[in-house]
Amino acid sequence: MLSGRILTPEGWITGSIAFDSDSGRILHIREDHGVDATLTILPGFIDLHVHGAAGVDIMQGGDAGATVARAHAKHGTTAMLGTTMTATDNSIRRALRGLAPVIAERPAGGARMLGVHLEGPFLSIHRLGAQPADAIAVGSMDLVRSYHELAPIRAMTLATEVADHLALIPQLNELGIRVQIGHSNGTYEDGVAALEAGAAGFTHLFNGMTGLNHYKPGIVGAALAHAEYAEIIPDLQHVAPGAIRAALRAIPRLYGVTDATSATGMPDGEYGLGSQRVYKCLGCVRLATGSLAGSVLTMDQALRNFVGLGLELADASHRLSLYPADYLGETERGRLAPGGWADIVVLNADLQPVAVFVEGEAIDLSTN
């Protein structure tokens, strides 16, 4: 049983939360003003865009997914999507085969891997960011289905203006895949058309897409004008604070992701991001060209950054737990309620995690 100030779906209460470690489910939440309210108890974070951590990249395949899940759990992430990079067909299949057993069975001490975010290879050659140009491909349902059979794809980044990608959106939705507009050189009209066709969100808003201009609103303009959901990287390096604030006012369920790379939790130096070499220095990750290439953000730092931008703690929590859960249709995660999964992060007054529970399992926070 845990006691403190608890964020429930109905709002804040002071009291206790009890869960069954065997079933991994929350038993009850009870109000009790007599308990010590020093600690804050929030739903565990849900990160829908994670490439790596602890020196390991999802594209390596094998047990990389388990290592990444364990590393992020120490920072309060209780569920996540393993995210691929644009790569050769063989490399993508290797990564998916590696993720499949981690998705099927949560690794001890790790976050729940809910599925795959396929970020590429169906992107625009003009908006690659850190994605390698030599592996860009045109999407087809046959290819997507073959990937989906290896490991469940829950979200896919798509440059919807390329080739016949727009026509794929309803078929991808039928497979249960949330289509996200991203790495796109499309116009505002292209973005609106994709939303009308069933696209659900935007990948790392502002990054890897046509920007907002008052004559040419671009993909960013389509997101700000029409989106219900979009992901954003709140590391304060990918997007300036003022732009984050603008997006917060425009997009009701803007949610934070880390876009974390293998350099997360590691010292400065050279690391892998798919087939690319990236360099961690001064708290960010860049290609040799100087372009940003993912991040070293963790979700607990994302929470602190959101609060530092002026968000109320409950609002910041929703954008890292409730909204990403709802985006994927995960009704038993992202909120603390009886019967739901006991995915819990306990924070001190500085919003630093002092305890994390994934499906009722206590995570060892003693090492990075």
**Residues annotated in a binding site for Zn(2+):** 119, 183, 204
Alpha helices, H only, 105-217: 141-150, 165-174, 188-197
Q: Would residue 19 be called left, alpha or beta, if left means φ above 0 and alpha means ψ between -120 and 50 degrees?
A: beta
**Dist. CA 42–CA 115, nearest whole Å:** 23
Q: Is the torsion defined by CA of 328, 334, 339, 341 positive or negative?
A: positive
| β-pair type (25-31, 284-286) | unpaired
Q: Would residue 197 be called left, alpha or beta, if left means φ above 0 and alpha means ψ between -120 and 50 degrees?
A: alpha
Q: Could you tell me which residues are annotated as the binding site?
A: 119, 183, 204
**Dist. CA 211–CA 268, nearest whole Å:** 31
**Dist. CA 155–CA 42, nearest whole Å:** 25
The token pair at 350 is 């500085």
326 is an active site residue: no
Catalytic residue among 57, 235, 259, 343: 259
Angle of CA points 139, 165, 215, to nearest 5°: 135
Nearest to 325 by CA among 106, 114, 148, 169: 114
The phi, psi pair for 168, rounded to 5°, reads -75, -25
183, 123 Cβ separation under 8 angstroms: yes
Known catalytic residues are 259
